[in-house]
């Protein structure tokens, strides 16, 4: 399994928070990075001073955010010369957890967020085909390989990381920010392992090939079809839950 994340994705995740300087906002950004798999299990976080500088907040705010993450079991702090704050990736959630969350989402809200995500993902793939570097393509291929060997929550993380890498390859900080935001809002449900992994792996490989070939329209088309397929599967499961 590949570790860490691309420079563009990391830049988006640790970008300044603007006028929002509360500890809750810092904690939410770090939770997203951990649950999206952008920060690897046991990875050391930057120092409190470095995080404060990157987010544009005070060290007190960062310290409060880290306390919240420790309470959630997502970060552990070690003392001493080799100490610091280290990521603890969440374990597999109970099988009923995602069903309960999906029941709480209305079909209209699911479609609305899905439409937004479809537009962002398609645009990111198109721009990635026009702007990606050889290093970006290599990361997309590695992300596709990760999906082929992933199971359970690992499958969901691999799906989400692939699409974050596509957004990063688009070389658009705003698009990457939108991808991160929508992944935190929808990604945990959209990329549930609701079917065999082989079709998703093949779709990722085709999207990557289109991006590598600089075929922007094909990259957009394949990505939109991939996302629509996931949305359709999720809508079917949503309906089954409501009628069961």
Q: How far apart, in Å, are the Cα atoms of 31 and each of 89, 100, 228?
A: 10, 20, 27
Calculate the dihedral angle through the C-alpha atoms of 165, 168, 169, 172, rounding to the nearest 10 degrees: 160
Given 87, 119, 147, the domain boundary residue is: 87
Residue 58 lies in a domain: yes
Given 24, 58, 87, the domain boundary residue is: 87
Domain of 156: which CATH number? 1.20.120.530
pLDDT tens digits for 115-146? Answer: 999 999 999 999 999 999 999 999 999 999 98
Measure the CA–CA gap between 153 and 160, rounded to whole angstroms: 11
Shared domain check, 106 and 58:
no
Measure the CA–CA gap between 114 and 190, rounded to whole angstroms: 9
Identify whether the C-beta of residue 155 lies closer than 8 Å to the C-beta of residue 143.
no
Q: What is the pLDDT of residue 119?
A: 96
* CA-based R_g, the chain, Å: 18
What average pLDDT score do residues 33-42 get? Answer: 78
DSSP reduced 3-state for 115? helix
Identify whether the C-beta of residue 171 lies closer than 8 Å to the C-beta of residue 208.
no
Name the residue with tokens 């079909």. Answer: 107
| Predicted confidence band of residue 11 (pLDDT cuts 50, 70, 90) | low
pLDDT tens digits for 170-208? Answer: 999 889 888 888 877 776 788 877 777 778 999 999 999
Shared domain check, 46 and 25:
yes
Residue of higher predicted confidence among 17 and 21: 17
Residue 92 lies in a domain: no
Q: What is the pTM of this model?
A: 0.74
Shared domain check, 115 and 175:
yes
Helix axes 59-71, 23-35, angle to 10 degrees: 50
Name the residue with tokens 């702090």. Answer: 77
Q: Is the pLDDT of residue 92 over 80?
A: no
Domain of 36: which CATH number? 1.10.10.10
Residue 2 lies in a domain: no
Shared domain check, 152 and 194:
yes
What average pLDDT score do residues 151-162 get? Answer: 84
Q: How many domains does the chain divide into?
A: 2
For 209-212, the CB contacts below 8 A with 24+ separation are 210/125, 210/129, 211/125, 211/128, 211/129, 211/132, 211/136, 211/137, 211/140, 211/166, 211/169, 212/132, 212/137, 212/140
Shared domain check, 64 and 172:
no
Residue 112 lies in a domain: yes
Shared domain check, 137 and 56:
no
| Predicted confidence band of residue 224 (pLDDT cuts 50, 70, 90) | very high
Given 45, 60, 87, the domain boundary residue is: 87
Shared domain check, 14 and 35:
yes
Residue 1 lies in a domain: no
Distance of CA 32 to the CA centre of its chain: 7
- Domain residues for the domain of 168 are 97-243
Q: Is the pLDDT of residue 36 over 80?
A: no
- Phi, psi (5° rounding) for residue 77? -110, 130
């Amino acid at each position: 399994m590949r570790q860490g994340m691309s420079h563009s994705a990391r830049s988006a995740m640790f970008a300044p928070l603007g006028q929002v300087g509360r500890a809750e906002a810092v904690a939410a950004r770090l939770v997203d990075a951990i649950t999206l798999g952008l920060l690897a299990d046991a990875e050391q976080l930057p120092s409190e001073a470095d995080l404060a500088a990157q987010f544009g907040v005070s060290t007190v705010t960062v310290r409060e955010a880290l306390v919240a993450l420790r309470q959630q079991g997502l970060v552990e702090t070690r003392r001493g010369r080799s100490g610091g704050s280290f990521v603890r990736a969440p374990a597999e959630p109970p099988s009923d957890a995602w069903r309960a969350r999906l029941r709480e989402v209305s079909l209209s809200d699911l479609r609305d967020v899905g439409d937004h995500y479809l537009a962002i993902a398609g645009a990111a793939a198109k721009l990635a085909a026009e702007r990606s570097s050889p290093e970006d393509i290599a990361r997309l291929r590695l992300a596709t390989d990760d999906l082929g060997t992933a199971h359970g929550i690992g499958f969901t993380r691999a799906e989400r990381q692939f699409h974050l890498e596509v957004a990063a390859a688009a070389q658009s900080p705003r698009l990457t920010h939108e991808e991160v935001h929508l992944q935190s809002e929808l990604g945990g449900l959209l990329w549930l392992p609701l079917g065999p992994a082989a079709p998703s792996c093949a779709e990722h490989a085709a999207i990557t090939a289109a991006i590598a070939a600089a075929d922007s329209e094909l990259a957009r088309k394949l990505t939109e079809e991939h996302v629509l397929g996931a949305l359709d599967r999720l809508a079917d499961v949503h309906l089954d839950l409501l009628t069961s």
